[in-house]
C-alpha cells in the first residue's frame, strides 16, 4: 500500500510523542537503551503564566536543554542561571555523562560559556550570516 505524506505545521504534542515512542522502541530493541525522559522547570507569575523556563530531554547519558527562555522583564535577575543549575543537578542525579545545548550567535553563547559549556562545533549558512553553536559540558 502507498500512504500519502502530509505536511502539518505546528503538529500536536501527541503526534510528536508518537514519533518519540517509535524512536525509543527502536533504541530499546537495538541497544537496550532506557526510554528518553522529558523534563521541564518553569517560573510562573501570579496568573500562572510561564515567564521563564527550561525544558529538554534526558537521553542515553546526556541531558539536552532544548529550550531555555526568560521573559525580557526577568532577564539579568538570575533566573536563567538558576534554571540551568537545576538542569545540571538533574543531569547529575540521573548520572548523565554530559549536558548539551544549542544557541545562535545572537542569543546566549556567552551565557552558556559562563556556565562551563564549550563549543563542540558550529554550523554556518543561516539567514543574515547567523551561526548556530552546539555546546557541551562534561559532568
In the chain, where are the structural domains located?
Answer: 36-138
- β-bridge mates for residue 104, sequence order: 132
Q: Which of helix, strand or coil describes residue 18?
A: helix
Residue range 108-118, pLDDT digits in tens: 999 999 999 99
**SS3 label, residue 137:** strand
Report the share of the chain in percent with pLDDT over 70: 100
Give the Cβ contact number of residue 87 at 10 Å. Answer: 24
For 78-120, the pLDDT digits (tens) are 999 999 999 999 999 999 999 999 999 999 999 999 999 999 9
Place of cell 562534561: 138
| Domain 36-138: homologous superfamily in CATH | Gcn5-related N-acetyltransferase (GNAT) (3.40.630.30)
Residue 37 binned pLDDT confidence (cut-offs 50, 70, 90): very high
Amino acid at each position: 500500500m502507498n500512504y500519502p505524506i502530509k505536511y502539518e505545521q505546528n503538529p500536536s504534542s501527541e503526534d510528536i510523542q508518537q514519533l518519540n515512542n517509535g524512536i525509543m522502541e527502536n533504541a530499546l530493541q537495538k541497544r537496550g537503551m532506557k526510554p528518553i525522559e522529558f523534563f521541564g522547570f518553569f517560573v510562573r507569575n501570579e496568573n500562572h503564566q510561564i515567564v521563564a523556563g527550561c525544558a529538554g530531554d534526558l537521553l542515553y547519558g546526556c541531558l539536552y536543554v532544548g529550550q531555555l527562555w526568560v521573559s525580557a522583564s526577568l532577564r539579568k535577575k538570575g533566573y536563567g542561571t538558576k534554571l540551568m543549575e537545576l538542569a545540571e543537578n538533574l543531569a547529575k542525579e540521573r548520572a548523565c555523562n554530559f549536558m548539551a545545548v544549542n544557541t545562535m550567535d545572537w542569543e546566549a553563547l556567552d551565557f552558556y560559556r559562563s556556565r562551563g559549556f564549550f563549543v563542540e562545533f558550529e554550523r554556518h549558512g543561516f539567514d543574515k550570516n547567523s551561526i548556530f553553536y552546539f555546546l557541551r559540558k562534561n559532568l
